[in-house]
Amino acid sequence: MTAMKPEDAVRHVIATDPTFAVHEVDVRGVTFKAFKNIPPTVPSLLAAGWARHGDGALEYLAYEGEVLTYADFTSKVHRLAHAMRDELGVRQGDRVAIAMRNYPELLALVLAISSIGGVVVFVNAWWTTEELDYALRDSGAQIVFADSPRLQRLEPLQSELGLTLIGVRDAEGQSAHDLTALETNAASDTAPVVTIDTDDDFAVMYSSGTTGHPKGVVQSHRGAVNAVFSWLMQSVVAPLVTPPEPDATAPPRPSALVVTPLFHVTATHPLFLLSLPAGAKITLMHKWDAEGAVRLMRDNSITRFLGVPTQSAELMQAALKMGETLPAMDYLGSGGAKRPGAQVTQLAEAFPNAGIATGWGMTETNALGIGMIGEDYTARPESAGKLHPPVQELRMLDDAGNDVPVGCLGEITVKSPANMRCYLNKPEATAETMQDGWLRTGDLGVLDEDGYVTILDRKKNIIIRGGENIACLDVEGALHRHPDVLEAAAFSVPDDRLGEAVGAAVQLKNGATLTCDDMATFLQGHLAPFKIPVHLWVQRDVLTRGATDKIDRRAIRTACLDNLKVKV
């Protein structure tokens, strides 16, 4: 087979494989390119993947010694769907929240809720009671499936918000409803009959923004499935670009290890949802442990690893220590944050059979965006890659919304059916971000003549700690609760392991003192632990301001890191 250029391979697949045929669609008055023949909704992915999973017979979901076949998992989804509709009264359009660590039940609940037309509200499992209170009020979700730590944080809100709490795993027996009982008493294990439009809401995922509270990103069914089939198409295009040797053995069944939280798109969309039509097996880790991940991947011939850069680095260090090269792994991806360029070649040497990959996407794009793998990446380790075809369009814009020339700094702006519908309850933020179908991402970069994008800066005041987005104003708002803090500025601090950590500078009242440990103790219960600053600078003078008399966060950060010569 003669190798094709990537662009030619994409055109060939679109023209010859009906699965990936593309047409134009009108969505709320905007015309998009979209896949023509793919499943219309997220729950329909379950049936679409049946044959790829051995007509349900293959192992699909593994966790801590527990294994479900695809048929077992499908039956579980259907039983929970009937139970939610019959016992809990969930109806189309109702928002139902999930608050738990990465358990198998979380995956089943996503499909069960959406299969009866409900809208999944993904709750950050690290949030405090205060943060949970905001998200539940904002989303209007009154039914929440939760494990024990989350249930305990939700109980103070139950009466005031009228919550129905369903205990999962270690929370069973702690509330009026248990998931096991709901599933056991379900009336049927066949798919519920519900008419769901492809442009109906599928989920609300919360993403930190420059405002203090996180923003609820409303994703549609069309958006999620178009993202999934954009990634699936890559597996069809790849052998056309790099043909296998004539005597090469057939590739193994894809198998993915999930190591990032399932309340983020990095885990839900390109791992879980993609696994359904791709015929891939999913393995969940109870808690991230690099050596444990190496053992799981080695012993279970796991082919796909996608985590934040910190996890890639720790996986590599553990594998080298254990003398493992993980030959079954053919994909080692990075999402959530930029991987250090120097690490790319190191990973390629440590895992010679794996294609080292990078990706950029957003909650607002259903994780679809830019990426690259293999030689492209090792040749351009500082780049984010190219736009994933075929339904996305890309522009680089200045502040006035004009296209900038190739090679000039601009805001990455994308248009595709995978873009969010809106920010929940935030019309002004939606209008600022979504313009005629184009999503202004807030990320600044440069597009070269070959179509590669290099991301250089963020317009948003966001700290990315190990792939977790933290709004500076969220941290500052909590710091201002302290009675001795007059003013506060939060910013990113370089961290060798996590990429970035949270730092803060505060102006104190005269005579007051505040240590970093004192501050951390005070913030417990107000902020999730990962948001609490690990470095604190204290001063009596007002914080540095810019020309408009606003706090100059960049200048403060520079002064704290450079002038004070603090080692980080």
pTM over 0.85: yes
Kindly indicate the confidence band of residue 568, based on its pLDDT and cuts at 50, 70 and 90: very low
Structure confidence at residue 212 (pLDDT) = 64
* pLDDT tens digit sequence for 171-201: 999 999 999 999 999 999 999 999 999 999 9
The fourth-level CATH superfamily of domain 462-563 is ANL, C-terminal domain (3.30.300.30)
Where are the alpha helices (H) located in 87-220, listed in sequence order?
104-115, 129-139, 148-161, 179-184
* Main-chain phi, psi angles of 436, to 5 degrees: 55, 40
DSSP assignment string, 490-549: EEEEEETTTEEEEEEEEEEPTT----HHHHHHHHBTTB-GGGS-SEEEEESSPPPB-TTS
Q: Is the peptide bond before 251 cis (omega within 30 degrees of 0)?
A: no
CATH 3.30.300.30 spans which residues of the chain? Answer: 462-563
Domain at 46-51+70-219: CATH code: 3.40.50.980
Task: Please determine, for residue 54, whether its predicted confidence score (pLDDT) is greater than 70.
Answer: yes
Q: How far is CA 174 from CA 146, 148, 490, in A?
A: 10, 8, 38
Q: What would the mean pLDDT of 343-353 be, rounded to a whole number? A: 95
Calpha distance 271→509 (Å, rounded): 49
Task: Please determine, for residue 279, whether its predicted confidence score (pLDDT) is greater than 60.
Answer: yes
Calpha distance 568→565 (Å, rounded): 9
* pLDDT tens digit sequence for 438-494: 999 999 899 999 999 998 877 777 888 988 878 787 898 899 889 999 889 999 999
Calpha distance 266→528 (Å, rounded): 20
Calpha distance 523→480 (Å, rounded): 10
Q: What would the mean pLDDT of 34-47 be, rounded to a whole number? A: 98
Calpha distance 358→323 (Å, rounded): 25
Structure confidence at residue 28 (pLDDT) = 94
Half-sphere exposure of 50 (CA within 13 A, CB side): 11
Kindly indicate the confidence band of residue 15, based on its pLDDT and cuts at 50, 70 and 90: very high
Kindly indicate the confidence band of residue 222, based on its pLDDT and cuts at 50, 70 and 90: very high
Calpha distance 135→137 (Å, rounded): 6
User: Do 368 and 388 form a contact (C-beta atoms < 8 A)?
Assistant: yes
* pLDDT tens digit sequence for 507-548: 999 899 999 999 999 999 999 999 999 999 999 998 998 755
* pLDDT tens digit sequence for 159-173: 999 999 999 999 999
Task: Please determine, for residue 366, whether its predicted confidence score (pLDDT) is greater than 50.
Answer: yes
Task: Please determine, for residue 565, whether its predicted confidence score (pLDDT) is greater than 80.
Answer: no
Residue 2 structure tokens: 């003669």
Give 309's contacts (C-beta < 8 A, 6+ positions apart).
Answer: 334, 336, 337, 338, 339, 340, 343, 467, 499
Specify the DSSP class assigned to residue 219: E
CATH 3.40.50.980 spans which residues of the chain? Answer: 46-51+70-219
Structure confidence at residue 396 (pLDDT) = 97
User: Do 118 and 83 form a contact (C-beta atoms < 8 A)?
Assistant: no
